[in-house]
Chain A
Amino acid sequence: MEHTTTGVVAHEHHEHIVGGGRKEIYRVTIILSVLTIIELALGFSMYYITATLTLHIIKGIILILMLAKAFYIVGYFMHLRHELRNMIMTVVVPLLLFVWFIIAFLADGDSFNNLKNRYDFYYKEHMSQPMKKQEPKEEPTKNKGLD
């Protein structure tokens, strides 16, 4: 990696080139493949697990692996890792809004659930009916959107 924020040498007539070489590309490919395989194995293992806590833990691990993959794709394939630090910040800092976004909306969803179960008797009863076998072309449920 030839680039740091303070060590840029003479420029050519176009902007400088960022990024590593072929070895790095192959290395990151292997890492991404391994992460994907682990994710898929965990997802498949959930087929056989019924304990809720274990399921949640596995889902949490899958989410962390997903973020690791995102980090590698953005950092190395998109070369963001090798750009100037200030530029990285103009991209990453607004995306931190996602943290608030996700927490707030999932909490909201949970709140919707609690409110619906407490105050909408039809909802609670309707959602606990066993599913009847459907004909392919019939409308299985009458729900339209959030209910």
Chain B
Amino acid sequence: MATTTPATTATKYWSGGKSPFNVEYGKLMMWYFLMSDAFTFGAFLISYGTTRFATNGWPNPNHVFNSFPGIEGNLPLLFVSLMTFILILSSVTMVLAVHEGHNMNKKGVAKYLVLTIIGGLAFLSCQALEWTHLYHEGAWWGRNPFPNADGTTSTTNFSNFFFTITGFHGFHVFSGVIINIIMLIMTLKNKFEQRGHYLMIEKAGLYWHFVDLVWVFVFTCFYLV
């Protein structure tokens, strides 16, 4: 980096002994891992977009995703709305957990981590219900019973992409829940009190927010547009 700039900001961060971005190494690396994961999900979603643009007809999501477990009748988008709100709320509880960590409040961190884990498990259950319902309607990798919006024969790409991408995302939610459980155990065992900081919770928080962010994109691409 050029050092001809005035010494104030440049040497304060770039003259060694401290992180130039004023952030912990693990946190920065988590950001870069999330960027790589973002490109992976982006690749999946963009290939979905390409396939859709390349195909003449496509099923109307309002007609495919219109069931709610336990309630009879035509309720388009209701179940996925529930799933989206569950995940957003779990993200909020995660932010609150990180916030409690800044205040070195072990009980608060544990409480909000538990709520986040419950939210994550609720989301996974909902996703499992959605998959089961669609499977019983005849959809699976290689099988697509839903006609296009105009009634013509539709391609199996619809269900292939749906199950692959939501499955990949669900796998991330699952691993996020596992990570949060480990964070909870570490918190309860006073690991972070010993260390003097809750930065690990922040990193787990970044991963969890990333999972929520991906859901925002996946849900929009499959259910809304």
| Interface SS, A side | helix
Q: Interface code A38-62, partner B: CB below 8 Å = 1, 0 otherwise?
A: 0110111011000000000001001
Contact, CB under 8 Å: A105 / B49: yes
Residues of A30-86 at the interface with B, using a CB-CB cut-off of 8 Å, are: 32-33, 36, 39-40, 42-44, 46-47, 59, 62-63, 66, 69-70, 73-74, 77-78, 83-84, 86
B225 at the interface (CB under 8 A from A): yes
Q: A5 contacts which chain B residues (CB < 8 A)?
A: 9
The total of Cβ contacts below 8 Å across the A-B interface reads 197
Q: Are B152 and A8 in contact (CB under 8 A)?
A: no
Closest to A29 in B: B92
Cα A146 to Cα B27 in complex, Å, equals: 40
* Chain B: minimal CB distance from A10 (Å): 12
Total residues of chain B contacting the partner, CB 8 A: 77
Let me know if A131 and B138 touch, CB within 8 A: no
- CB within 8 Å for A73 and B9 given contacts A40-B77, A102-B49, A113-B53: no
A15 touches B138 (CB 8 A): no
Q: How far is the CA of A87 from the CA of B20 in the complex (A)?
A: 9
Q: Are B152 and A131 in contact (CB under 8 A)?
A: yes
Option from A21, A66, A77, A108 in Cβ contact (under 8 Å) with B217: A66
